[in-house]
Amino acid sequence: MVYLLCIRDLASKKYNQGYFRPQHPEKYIGDSRNIIYRSSWELKFLRWCDRNENILKYASEEFSIPYVSPLDRRVHRYYPDYLIEVKKSDGTIKKYIVEVKPKKQTVPPVKKDRITKSYIYEAKTYAVNEAKWKAAQEFALDNGIEFMVITEEHLGIKPYGTRRLSKKRHK
């Protein structure tokens, strides 16, 4: 299968970002010409949704869920990464709200002897994610949907720091 990707020049960004062009645009809920991915992990998930025959429909950041940020106590809008409709092995159809995140952002950061800027950033990110996910779980429960967070483990991606680099021989 060949996937057509139209990637904008986002060289200044840290992560792989661009526009995804599905082979099966009829499966996409929304404008299939405007599917944005914000990381290579999201791109991998989009490709999986597009080619998996058990994914009947999918959407990317097409709706929002209100949540209260623990940082400023104000209401913000959370746009979950995906909404998917899946045909299960028993023939039933189930909907899922899916968020793609690094596993590191799904657990509280480890507090060290010294509180660094990095630790503060990680703690704030985790707190905001928890608030978003709590709101998403409540929304899902109210609407007969299941909420899930997918990490690199689910995507079959080795965590950073564990990848083996090829050894080149120098002569």
Is 90 known to be catalytic? no
Per the annotation, the verdict on 101 as an active-site residue is yes
Tally helices (H) and strands (E) across the chain.
3, 9
C-alpha 41/C-alpha 156 separation (Å) is 10
How far apart CA 5 and CA 21 sit, in angstroms, is 5
120/29 Cα distance (integer angstroms): 37
- pLDDT, residue 14, reads 57
Q: Hey, which residues does 36 pair with through a beta bridge?
A: 19
Per-residue pLDDT of the chain (171 residues; tens, 9 = 90+): 333 333 333 333 456 899 999 999 999 999 999 999 999 999 999 999 999 999 999 999 999 999 999 999 999 999 999 999 999 999 999 999 999 999 988 999 988 888 899 999 999 999 999 999 999 999 999 999 999 999 988 888 876 655 555 555 555
Please pick, among 44, 57, 101, 104, the residue that the annotation labels catalytic: 101
Determine the pLDDT at residue 141.
97
| CB of 41 closer than 8 Å to CB of 54 | no
User: DSSP 3-state assignment of 169?
Assistant: coil
Position 94 scores a pLDDT of 97
**Beta carbons within 8 Å of 86's beta carbon, 6+ residues apart:** 54, 55, 56, 93, 94, 95, 96
Q: Quote the pLDDT of residue 2.
A: 32
Residue 164: what pLDDT? 57
Q: With the C-alpha atoms ordered 35, 136, 140, 142, is the resulting torsion angle positive or negative?
A: negative
Every domain of the chain and the residues it spans: 4-155
Which of 81, 99, 122, 152 is flagged as catalytic?
A: 81
Top CATH class of 4-155 equals alpha beta
Q: Residue 72 catalytic?
A: no
Whether the pTM exceeds 0.75: the reply is: yes
